[in-house]
Chain A
Amino acid sequence: MNAPVDYLLHLADNALILGQRNAEWCGHGPILEEDIALSNNSLDLIGQARLLYQHAAEQMGKGATEDTLAYFRDVPDFRNYTLCELPHMPLMAATSAGDRDFATTIVRNFLYSSLMVLVWDQLQNSKDAQLAAIAAKSLKEVRYHLRHSRDWLVRLGDGSEVSHAKAQAALDQLLPYTQEFWTTSPQESAALANGTGIDMAALQNDWNQIVSEALQEATLQRPAAGGFVPTGKQGIHSEHLGFVLAEMQSLARQHPGAIW
């Protein structure tokens, strides 16, 4: 039994786009250890994306490879959560420049990792044996990502006035985007129906518990939910994804088929 291709792409695109975002810290980390940590985190995510793309490409045939999926699809083809594509900075227009905000990076990684420890854990029982194998590996990795981002969340939130304010601002901006986790997309319904996917709604309580405990320890206030619900996993993205893809794909598109 194979998971629907669009479902695999949803999982892969989440990992690739967040991996690409975290890689933006490579060479720019606030301290050397964080530079290395975020690069490691990125490496894990890109590794997960590769395994998922390879699995999807095998089913797609017609010359599809992990590279065609990563480098030769456009914005509406990507199925990642909008949360993963946002820049590391407080809300601003896509063409505006701003300093990378470490708190935004940490809060995003925390919200995503808190979800994925639950998702990968459940997907270990997927009827798609290869997806189950990828889930078992990814679970081990995301536990480290959660530990890393959660430690920093507490340190920033329960730190100085400045670090607390930055962490709270990042949380206020990003938490509403997590509403997308609990809406249903066609690929998630298809995967749930054939036993290869999972019921996301069933994870919401556990996710809330992980988030609430961490926020409490970090002395951060959980903003009210509501408002705009993003639709990235259905291919309708924020203006930011195009800029991520432009940077990520330009080399492959200038030199199609190039290898080294």
Chain B
Amino acid sequence: MPSTTVTESEAKQSMDCRAALAMTSSAQRAWDLLESLSDPEIPVVSLRELGILREVREGAEGLEVVITPTYSGCPAMGQIEDDVKAALATAGLQATVVTQLAPAWTTDWMTDAAKDKLRAYGIAPPHACASAASGSANVVQFAARGAKAEVVHCPQCGSGNTTETSHFGSTACKALYRCLDCMEPFDYFKPY
């Protein structure tokens, strides 16, 4: 392993795909700069915490920053690419932004810290969804019985007495909910 690998504590926090990678010092600098770059739609969480920022590597033609879209049609991807380039430019770094689809982004990558921040911001964080994996049998079951009714807690008052207003909300990644105790409407970050 080269001497510039990520430190053990950083590696623990990182996603598996990144942890295995050796980083050069400019890649490390870029990573440090991007660490705090926030999501354009949900400014309280960083792109790294959401799992959108995947990797910074030294490519054949210079630095490469790898990002992955949340939903296929997420309109924020262009903004995110611009934000990444602008953040690096302030430190005199230039990078190509590479969009990578596999493995497909999942809300399971979201850190617990990010979930707490979402809740404090008024968005109920997603439940785990790893169990709803592929397999056509699962798909049929999913269709026939609907999603298992997970209790979504109100981010305002904490009540579990909530109801879904719409599967689809203000952005592709969120659903609309309403709390039946405090009567406040709120967004739920859908498991994906």
Contact = CB atoms under 8 A, between A and B. Distances in A.
Contacts of A41: 168
Interface in A20-72: 33-34, 36-37, 39-41, 43-48, 50-51
Contacts of B136: 117-118, 121-122, 206
Given A33-B168, A37-B167, A40-B172, A48 B72 contact: yes
Interface in A124-158: 124, 129-130, 132-134, 136-141, 143-144, 146-148, 150-151
Given A140-B104, A143-B139, A146-B143, A44 B166 contact: no
Most chain B C-beta atoms within 10 Å of own C-beta, residue among A33, A37, A40, A151: A40
B167 A139 contact: no
Interface residues of A, number: 44
Contacts of A151: 146, 167
A151 B166 CA distance: 11
Given A44-B172, A210-B140, A133 B102 contact: yes
Interface of B is mostly: loop
Interface in A78-133: 114, 117-118, 121-122, 124, 129-130, 132-133
A119 B145 CA distance: 20
Contact of A51 (B72, B140, B172, B190): B72
A120 to B, nearest CB: 9
B135 interface: yes
A161 interface: no
A122 to B, nearest CB: 8
Contact of B170 (A36, A118, A122, A141): A36
A209 interface: yes
A214 interface: yes
A137 B104 contact: yes
Contacts of B166: 33-34, 36-37
Contacts of A136: 101-104, 134
A130 B101 CA distance: 8
B72 A143 contact: no
B189 to A, nearest CB: 13
Given A43-B71, A46-B73, A51-B101, A117 B143 contact: yes
B143 A150 contact: yes
A139 B74 CA distance: 15
Contacts of A247: none
Interface string B97-112: 0000111111000000
Interface of B: 69, 71-75, 101-106, 132, 134-136, 139-140, 142-144, 146-147, 165-170, 172, 176, 190, 192
25 contacts: A33-B165, A36-B169, A36-B176, A37-B167, A39-B168, A41-B168, A43-B71, A44-B72, A47-B71, A47-B73, A51-B72, A117-B139, A121-B136, A133-B101, A140-B192, A141-B71, A143-B139, A143-B142, A144-B167, A146-B142, A151-B146, A206-B136, A206-B139, A214-B143, A214-B144
Given A118-B139, A136-B104, 17 more contacts: A33-B165, A33-B166, A34-B166, A36-B176, A44-B172, A46-B73, A47-B72, A114-B143, A118-B136, A141-B72, A144-B168, A147-B147, A148-B167, A206-B136, A206-B139, A210-B139, A214-B144
Interface of A: 33-34, 36-37, 39-41, 43-48, 50-51, 114, 117-118, 121-122, 124, 129-130, 132-134, 136-141, 143-144, 146-148, 150-151, 206, 209-210, 213-214
